[in-house]
């Protein structure tokens, strides 16, 4: 497992369908050791802090293995950072990574916090309004990381799994539960009480569980 690429960008304004949109999705690979703080990487920024950033979504990671699949499907080469990720990681796909996994990369300690929900700005990046839905349905969502210990990292650093809750749920399981199979009451209970999962996602699962249980009571 290793860090293949570090990608950053400052928010910039682009034109899309006659509108000006401020976005930080146009990440580009950078070299050298990069400092990671509680909320960001040096040289990086998010445009809309209502839905991006914050401690639970400080850093976005994406599996390097997905690039071959997307390139084949889209018929063109894709540079790292194409999907807006800060860290392109090898050997850490969604069906192998658990929410709550603690990862050491360089001197930075991360914890996996939630899957990524793509917004319309990924459509801008891909020049295709329909792409965010396709991205989500593919199961290749990537995932967000919270920063437990600040430090520095660079491309080529190994990734060490420091700890894992074996009773937890994978990123893929969590994503499928929320968007494609939201009626599994047992899984909803587990997800709603999964402490490392971001507060927003736990609340969503609790609300869904309440809806199901309320309907069953009538």
List the structure tokens of 13: 């304004």
pLDDT tens, position by position, for the chain (218 residues)? Answer: 999 999 999 988 998 888 888 998 999 999 999 999 999 999 998 766 665 678 999 999 999 999 999 999 999 999 999 999 999 999 999 999 999 999 999 999 999 999 999 989 999 999 999 999 999 999 999 999 999 999 999 999 999 999 998 778 999 999 999 999 888 999 999 999 999 999 999 999 999 998 888 876 55
Q: 49: how many CB neighbours lie within 10 A of its CB?
A: 11
The whole model's pTM is what? 0.93
Q: DSSP assignment, residue 190?
A: H
Domains in the chain: boundaries: 2-165
Sign of CA dihedral 33, 38, 123, 201: positive
CATH tag, 2-165: 2.40.33.20
């Amino acid at each position: 497992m290793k860090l293949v690429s570090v990608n950053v960008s400052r928010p910039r304004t682009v034109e899309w369908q006659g509108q000006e949109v401020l976005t930080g999705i146009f990440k580009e690979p950078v070299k050298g050791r990069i400092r990671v703080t509680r909320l960001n990487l040096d040289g990086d920024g998010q445009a809309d802090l209502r839905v991006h950033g914050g401690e639970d979504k400080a850093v976005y990671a994406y599996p390097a293995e997905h690039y071959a699949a997307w390139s084949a499907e889209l018929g063109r080469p894709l540079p790292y950072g194409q999907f807006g990720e800060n860290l392109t990681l090898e050997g850490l796909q969604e069906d192998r990574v658990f929410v709550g996994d603690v990862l050491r990369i360089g001197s930075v300690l991360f914890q996996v916090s939630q899957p990524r929900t793509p917004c319309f700005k990924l459509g801008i990046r891909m020049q295709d309004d329909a792409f965010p839905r396709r991205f989500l349905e593919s199961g290749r969502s990537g995932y967000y990381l919270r920063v437990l210990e600040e430090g520095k990292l660079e491309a080529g650093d190994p990734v060490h799994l420091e700890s894992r809750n074996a009773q937890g749920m994978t990123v893929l399981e969590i994503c499928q539960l929320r968007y494609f199979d939201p009626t599994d009451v047992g899984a909803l209970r587990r997800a709603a009480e999964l402490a490392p999962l971001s507060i927003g996602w736990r609340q969503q699962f609790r609300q869904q569980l309440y809806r199901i249980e309320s309907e069953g009571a009538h």
